[in-house]
Every structure is written in structure tokens, then in C-alpha cells.
Amino acid sequence: MPKRRVADDWAALRLTDRIQPGVRVLFVGINPGVRSAQTGHHFAGPSNRFWKLLFASRLVPEPVTWIDDDRLPVFGYGITNLVARPSPGIDDLSPSEYVAGWKILERKIRKFRPEVLALVGVTLYRAILPLIGAERPPARIPLGPQPQTIHGTRMFVLPNPSGRNANFSYAEMLAAFSALERALKG
């Protein structure tokens, strides 16, 4: 009998989207990490700051954690991923997965019509740009609102809150999440 690989325990798992009609912001990650696949919850990595940033930026009125991801629609938010397949890192993803994932995400945008598509990570934004026929992105992409819209939905780039992301300080991440909160009010 062949020995099972450890990855077999999580590689086939998929997260449930948390999206309902009337969603104001659809948060999109690149793909689930292993911990998220194992728990069945978005942004469940122990060093991921997504949930802390939601509360600290006042996007949600009370502290929430990955266990509460099914409550996001109560606040007017949804959450999904570009690529459904979990992996230890994005280097494991193929270009064809990005293309296939974009087609699915675009259908979700058309169906739910969020006001804002909040892309969680500059890398995700870079991956989507060629798929929507955008011009070559600048060398440094600013966080915040972007010039493109998709089916009337505004795009907003947030930093990746993973503990692995050393590109932004917590203060910079909080400033970006807070800017989203202000944009929703304005």
C-alpha cells in the first residue's frame, strides 16, 4: 500500500466563499494557505493579521477572528480567493490557475455586484491586470483605490496581511485598511 503524502490531508480541500447579495466589499485573496484549508476558514494562519486589521480599521464594529468568517456578510462583506486550490505558497500556482480563477471571480463580480473589489495583496493585483487587459503596471503599485473597474466594481489594493509579508509594516497595513473604511463612508 503506498504511503500517503502529508499534503494529501489538505490539498483537495476547498474553502466556502462567504458572499451574499448586497455585498459592499468583496475581499479576494490569491489562494488559501494550508492552515486555512485545514480549518475551513479564510485567513486562518496564526500570523495572519487580516482579522485584527478589520477591527482596528473600524471596518467591523467588534473583534472577529478567522472562526467568524461566516459572519462577514452581516457587515456587508464577502470573501473568496482567485485560486481555490490551497498551497503552502503562491510559487506553487500555475499561470493557468490564475486565468481559470479569474474567469470564476469575474462571474462572482457580475453576480453579486460588490461596490468594491478589495484585492488582498499587491501580487494579486499584478496577477489580475493582464487578465483584464490593463496596461503594464508601474514598478511600484500604490495601495488603495485603483483606476480600473470591473463590471462597475471599483478596485482597491490592500497589503497582504500574512506574517510572511515583510513588504509592509503593521502601521502601513492599518493605514490601507483604514483608507478602505473611509472610502466606503465617502
Q: Which string of DSSP letters, residue by residue, matches the chain?
A: -PPPPGGGGTTT--PPPB--TT-SEEEEESS--HHHHHHTSTT--TT--HHHHHHHTTSSSS---GGGGGGGGGGTEEEEESS-S--SSGGG--HHHHHHHHHHHHHHHHHH--SEEEEESHHHHHHHGGGGTPPPPPSSPPSEEEEEEETTEEEEEE----TT--SS-HHHHHHHHHHHHHHHH-
Tens-place pLDDT, residues 5-51: 454 587 777 889 999 999 999 999 998 988 898 999 999 988 899 99
pTM equals 0.91
57-83 per-position pLDDT tens digit:
999 999 999 999 999 999 999 999 999
The hierarchical CATH code for the domain 18-185 is 3.40.470.10
Active site residue 151: no
* 42 is known as an active-site residue: yes
From the candidates 41, 42, 81, 160, give the one annotated as an active-site residue: 42
The domain ranges of the chain are 18-185
